[in-house]
């Protein structure tokens, strides 16, 4: 389950569990080459990066001078968003409003971490609570569809809630925790299809859903990339790419300053995502998302490749923890353990088996790469 599948990159730990991966003559994968050729030359997690972003920081402060908050930050309680809030307030002197979307899957640790940051930084927090019955219905539909990315409904709702709120309340600056330091490798679309393909999401729900999902926020890629950006003037800023953000140092800072609690793995602040990444994808779809996470840390000099290979030999969580998570998710989605196992053992499908906007998204993504809006490799 957690063993290497086929050829493995000689630099990182990406392998042929990614069905579209390509290697050069030296056995180096395309993700590593993209990092070296496209990302590293412009990535400045240092004083030069701080100097480069300061004119924008000053503009945010100026534009927000007579407002209660000068920017909006989505916060999950995870490392990236937590450190973003800390850097924005304490190091850049911004006055953000923190926005949290509750999809019904918060862990106790994530809730505690958010509270600690809000209190420690003296910031305001707004929480959007998602209609649970509709969220549950869409997540059940995705499991029934047999596609790999069953976390797509949660991703879409989290993303959409933030940008809908920014649009509704006229926030022109949205600061996110997206960064090259811990996520310069974007998993292939066979693993993680585009969360914002609402045509795809609605098609799956029309086939496998049972009720309405009209109360779920759904911001598609065209609304986000073009209308919000060019018509409404909402600017998305990744400040961690212009600041010395490195995983272990960031964890230590948050622990020391706020009593923040570390998670076993990236994205485990959500109980659903923890189950999806630790159990569902490796056991049902034969890929381990840790390969992309570890590889990002390897090429940015934060993890030794041999350590990553060793860690990948065993699951991140114990069998007992994963069994408990399986039963918890089944019960929360109103399935018996036996019903959930039956779904698990059905034939796997791909996003290509359903109606989607992939053709148009591919064009939009190519343009984003061409104009430097997105530097990661998408395929």
**Torsion sign over Cα 298, 303, 309, 315:** negative
The total number of structural domains that make up the chain: 1
CA-CA distance, 195 to 221, in Å (whole number)? 9
Residues 6+ positions from 353 with CB-CB distance below 8 Å:
147
pLDDT tens for each residue of the chain, 379 residues long: 455 568 999 999 999 999 999 999 999 999 999 999 999 999 999 999 999 999 999 999 999 999 999 999 999 999 999 999 999 999 999 999 999 999 999 999 999 999 999 999 999 999 999 999 999 999 999 999 999 999 999 999 999 999 999 999 999 999 999 999 999 998 889 999 988 899 999 999 999 999 999 999 999 877 877 888 889 999 999 999 999 999 999 999 999 999 999 998 888 899 999 999 999 999 999 999 999 999 999 999 999 999 999 999 999 899 999 999 999 999 999 999 999 999 999 999 999 999 999 888 888 777 666 656 555 555 5
196 SS3 class? coil
Q: What's the token pair of residue 341?
A: 């196992």
User: What per-residue confidence (pLDDT) applies to 234?
Assistant: 94
In a domain, 24, yes or no: no
Vertex 276: Cα angle to 275 and 278 (nearest 5): 65
**What b/e sequence results for 46-61 when a residue is b if at least 16 CB atoms lie within 10 Å of its CB, and e otherwise?**
eeebbeebeeebeebe
**Nearest one of 309, 141, 170, 143 to 234, comparing CA atoms:** 170
In a domain, 19, yes or no: no
Residues 295, 21 contacting (CB under 8 angstroms): no
In a domain, 7, yes or no: no
The dihedral region occupied by 377, where left means phi > 0, alpha psi between -120 and 50, and beta the remainder, is: beta
Q: What's the token pair of residue 137?
A: 């219905």
SS3 for 330-343, per residue? HHHCCCCHHHHHHH
Which secondary structure element, helix H or strand E, spans residue 141, and what is its range?
helix 132-145
Q: Provide the pairing of β-strand 71-74 with 96-102.
A: parallel
Which secondary structure element, helix H or strand E, spans residue 175, and what is its range?
strand 173-175
In a domain, 331, yes or no: yes
In a domain, 119, yes or no: yes
User: What per-residue confidence (pLDDT) applies to 378?
Assistant: 55
User: What per-residue confidence (pLDDT) applies to 1?
Assistant: 46
CA-CA distance, 347 to 35, in Å (whole number)? 35
195 SS3 class? coil
In a domain, 6, yes or no: no
In a domain, 37, yes or no: yes
In a domain, 89, yes or no: yes
Would you tell me how many other CB atoms lie within 10 Å of the CB of residue 347?
5
Q: What's the token pair of residue 218?
A: 């759904």
* 371 Cα distance to chain centroid: 22
What helix, strand, coil percent values describe the chain, rounded to 5? 55, 10, 40
Q: Crossing angle of helices 132-145/152-168, nearest 10°?
A: 140
Task: Name residue 126's beta-bridge partners.
Answer: 99
pTM of the model: 0.93
User: What per-residue confidence (pLDDT) applies to 139?
Assistant: 98
Residues 120, 257 contacting (CB under 8 angstroms): yes
Which residue segment(s) compose the domain that 218 sits in? 30-370
CATH number at residue 43: 3.40.50.620
177 SS3 class? coil
């Amino acid at each position: 389950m957690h063993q290497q599948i086929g050829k493995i990159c000689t630099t990182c730990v990406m392998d042929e569990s990614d069905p579209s991966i390509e290697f050069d003559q030296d056995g180096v994968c395309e993700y590593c080459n993209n990092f070296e050729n496209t990302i590293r030359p412009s990535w400045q997690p240092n004083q030069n990066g701080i100097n480069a972003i300061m004119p924008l920081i000053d503009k945010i402060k100026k534009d927000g001078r007579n407002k209660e908050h000068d920017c909006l930050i989505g916060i999950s309680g995870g490392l990236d968003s937590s450190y973003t809030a800390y850097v924005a307030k304490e190091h850049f002197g911004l006055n953000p409003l923190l926005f949290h979307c509750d999809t019904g899957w918060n862990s106790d640790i994530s809730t505690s971490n958010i509270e600690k940051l809000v209190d420690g930084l003296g910031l305001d927090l707004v929480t959007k609570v998602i209609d649970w019955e509709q969220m549950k219905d869409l997540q059940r539909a995705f499991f029934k569809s047999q596609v790999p990315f069953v976390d797509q409904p949660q991703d879409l709702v989290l993303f959409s809630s933030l940008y809908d709120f920014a649009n509704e309340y006229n926030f022109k600056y949205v600061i996110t925790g997206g960064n090259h330091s811990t996520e310069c490798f974007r998993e292939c679309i066979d693993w993680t299809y585009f969360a914002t393909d609402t045509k795809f999401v609605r098609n799956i729900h029309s086939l496998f859903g049972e009720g309405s999902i009209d109360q779920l926020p759904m911001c598609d890629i065209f609304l986000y990339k073009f209308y919000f950006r060019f018509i409404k003037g909402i600017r998305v800023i990744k400040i961690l790419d212009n600041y010395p953000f490195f995983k272990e140092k960031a964890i230590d800072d948050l622990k020391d300053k706020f009593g923040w609690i570390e998670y076993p793995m990236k994205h485990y602040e959500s109980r659903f995502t923890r189950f999806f990444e630790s159990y569902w994808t490796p056991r049902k779809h034969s890929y381990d998302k840790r390969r992309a996470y570890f590889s990002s840390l390897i090429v940015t000099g934060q993890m030794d490749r041999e350590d990553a290979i060793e860690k990948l030999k065993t699951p991140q969580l114990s069998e007992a923890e994963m069994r408990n998570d399986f039963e918890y998710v089944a019960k929360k989605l109103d399935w018996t353990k036996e019903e959930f196992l039956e779904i698990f053992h059905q034939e796997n499908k791909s996003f290509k088996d359903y109606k989607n906007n992939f053709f148009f998204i591919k064009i939009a993504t190519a343009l984003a790469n061409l104009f430097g809006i997105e530097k990661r490799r998408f395929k």
